[in-house]
Every structure is written in C-alpha cells, then in structure tokens.
Amino acid sequence: MKEGEKKPGFFSRLTSGLRRSSEKLTESVSAVFTKRKLDAAAIEELEELLIAADLGPAAAMRVTDRLARDRFDKDVTDEEVKDALAATIEETLKPLEAPLDFSSGPRPEIVLFVGVNGSGKTTTLGKIAATLTRAGKKTLLVAGDTFRAAAVEQVSVWGERAGAPVEKREIGADAAGLAYDAVSRAQRDGFDVVLIDTAGRLQTKTALMDELRKIVRVIRKLDETAPHRVILVLDGTVGANAVSQAEAFLEASQVTGLVMTKLDGTAKGGALVQVADRFQLPVHAIGIGEGIDDLQPFDARAFARALSGLAG
C-alpha cells in the first residue's frame, strides 16, 4: 500500500466522496452561527450537532473547547468553526495515520480480515492483494468464508485480477483448518504475505465470534506471533453503530487496525473519528469507490479538511 505519492486528483475524489458527510456538518454549523456570538448556548448546540454527525462526544467536546478558548463571547463565522473542526479532527487522527507497509514485516506476514456482512471486507482484501502483487510481493489469498459460495467466488475473482493464488475448500469446510493449511503452504513455498478472508459475522453471533477465536488459535500453532495484523473493515454507512462492531471484534480477535469503506455513499463519515479515537485504532486506508485505486492510504489532514468542507 505504501507506494509513494497518491495519484493526482485523489483529494478532489475524497472531497467528492465525503460531500454528503461534510454537507451534513457544514449546513448545520452555518445555521447555528449566522450572525451569532459564541455564547454558552451556541457551544452546547454545536456540540449536539457534532455528536449527531457521528463524531462522538470526545471529539465534539474538543472542537467546542478549542472555539471557546479563542472566540468565546465574540462573533464567529461558520468558516472559523470549520477551521476548528478540521484542526481538531486532524490532531485526533494524525497519530493514528498508519498506511499499510509490508516492506519489513515477518515472512510470511499473516493478515486476518474481519467485519460484519456487507462491510466491504473481501473487496478490501482483494484491492490490497492487487497492490501487493504490483509491488512484487508473493501473496496468497485465503477464501476463509466457507459458509457462502459467493464469498469463495469473490476471493477467486480477486485472485485472478491480482495474479495471486487462492487457497480454498468446499462450502461448509472448517475455516480454521483451511487457515492452518494456507499458512503451512505459505511457510513451505516462500510467500511474503497471506491475506485471510473470514466469514462476515454480526457482533451478536456468539458461535461465529468463537470460530474467529479458533482461527487465531490454530494459526498460532504454526507461528505464535500470528496473525501479525487483524484488520477490521467497517462500512462507513453504519455511522455510530461502528462503535459496537469495533468493540466486539476487538474482544474476539485483537484488532490491530481498521479500514473504513463506502465513504462515498454516506453522510456518516464522522464515525471514523469516533471509532479511531475511542479505541485508539490505527487507520490504514479508506474506500471512496469501487475501483482498485479508490482504496487509498489514510491521510489524516486530507480526510479532516474534506470532512469539514474545506479546500485542500
């Protein structure tokens, strides 16, 4: 993923993708601060708006504290509020900015992808596989969602696109056994990276979460340090519900970082701030479209300014 500069035009695509989220924020801000002093009532109203926009209480309070410190009881423009919003989001997320870099990890580096049904998990795995193979990494894909034929087929298609082999089994096969065999193959045949898909599961389904724990246990029989990354893929359209999803997957599989997808189709992009901030999870990438290049390494400043409706 870490292959130099973003291609030209990414900020404009990010801004376009986050337009619904930024409009939800900025239109509300403009309504509050048209010809109005920043008094206690305005601060409280702004904080409620930011929480409603899925930023979460902690980030909302930091924005209003920043404004109150500098502008309390003075006239404030919506542009000043946007600037404060962007600065706070950037400060919150900059320490968590963590583009994926497979240049110096263990070999094979074993990566587990987790998330609920429909989050874009398998597509994210495929896009990362394509990036890795372009960079010359010998990559093995693992179709670990053995419950659904469509999921196995989807991984197979991505394997063909990426030019990477796929380890798979018949429908209903034991996912942990498949993961064990895949890691054994990768160790034997000199693969650089193993990307393991898992069944999409609701955080409320205890049996499936137990299966996820079993996959982790089985992999560790071959490499006690594995999986080296557990990437949680979150659907940007679910808003604040992403918090409960992250909580459950953190408990089940020790998530090490996150990717948020579908930010181009939602007014709830602020949820990324809330989840990353609350759990201090590194943010690897964001998805703003269906194409391979629409999954981009996370850039805290670009995200903050696009979400706040500011120019790059």
201 annotated ligand binder: yes
22 annotated ligand binder: no
295: helix, coil or strand?
strand
Q: 222: which 2 tokens?
A: 């071959």
262 annotated ligand binder: yes
117 annotated ligand binder: yes
Q: Is the backbone peptide bond immediately before 95 cis, with ω within 30 degrees of 0? A: no
| Burial of 87 per CB tally in 10 Å (0-12, 13-18, 19+) | middle
Phi-psi region of 118 (alpha: psi -120 to 50; beta: other; left: phi over 0): left
70 annotated ligand binder: no
Question: What is the CA angle 158-202-210, rounded to 5?
Answer: 95
115 annotated ligand binder: yes
Q: What is the dihedral of CA 41, 47, 52, 57, to 10 degrees?
A: -140
Q: Residue type for 44, please?
A: E
Q: 281: which 2 tokens?
A: 């999870």
Among 175, 167, 179, 173, smallest CA distance to 221 is for 179
Distance CA 178, CA 7 (A): 37
Contact 234, 118 (CB under 8 A): no
198 annotated ligand binder: yes
74 annotated ligand binder: no
261 annotated ligand binder: yes
7 annotated ligand binder: no
Q: Residue type for 109, please?
A: E
Distance CA 6, CA 13 (A): 12
120 annotated ligand binder: yes
199 annotated ligand binder: yes
Distance CA 4, CA 8 (A): 12
29 annotated ligand binder: no
Contact 151, 173 (CB under 8 A): no
156 annotated ligand binder: no
119 annotated ligand binder: yes
Q: Which residues are annotated as a binding site for GTP?
A: 115-122, 197-201, 261-264
Q: Which residues are annotated as a binding site?
A: 115-122, 197-201, 261-264
